[in-house]
Amino acid sequence: MLNHSHWQEYPMTLIRLILGKLILFFNWAFPPKSIMRNAEQQAIIDTQTTGLTLYQYRACPFCVKVRRQMKRQSLSIGLRDVKRDLGAKKELLGGGGNLKVPCLRIEDGEAEVQWLYESGKIIGYLEGRFLVR
């Protein structure tokens, strides 16, 4: 039997579910235009993104915002869904320290791994590092 507090949570769960589906639909229906590079330039960028991983939820609006920026910049960055993958959840908590998304894991091979939270900061990092001017 459900207690009273469960009935209060149900409408918010339903609203989040509907909003998540709407966000995913509009993201699919109106994809951003990608930067076009020649094959050699794209191969260089693809090599530079191998040390990047985005920890995210599929329907999180801030995560969608970062993924759209990745598409605009034609960046091939690995995705880890923290909601559906227990291993990804453990990695995010162990490495980044917070179960908060989006989070970009940055490994450049020389220094220690960095964990960058907040969609605005992640987008700023990607623009600063990869955007063709």
Read off the pLDDT of each residue in 65-71 and give the average, rounded to a whole number: 96
For residue 86, the domain's CATH number is 3.40.30.10
Let me know whether 75 and 126 are in one domain: yes
pLDDT tens string 28-48:
888 888 888 999 999 999 999
Same domain, 6 and 59: no
What percent of the chain clears pLDDT 70, i.e. is strictly above it? Answer: 92
Total number of domains in the chain? 2
Stretch 67-75: mean pLDDT, rounded?
Answer: 96
- 92 and 72 Cβ atoms separated by less than 8 Å: no
User: Which of 13-27, 55-69, 84-98 is the least confident region?
Assistant: 13-27
Q: Are residues 11 and 52 in the same domain?
A: no
pLDDT for 86 beyond 70: yes
Domain span holding position 13: 1-30
- pLDDT, tens digit, 9 for 90 and up, residues 7-24: 567 777 787 788 888 887
Which comes out higher in pLDDT, residue 24 or 76? 76
19 with 57, same domain: the answer is: no
Is 59 in the same domain as 74? yes
pTM: 0.83
71 with 117, same domain: the answer is: yes
Q: Can you give the pLDDT at residue 25?
A: 85
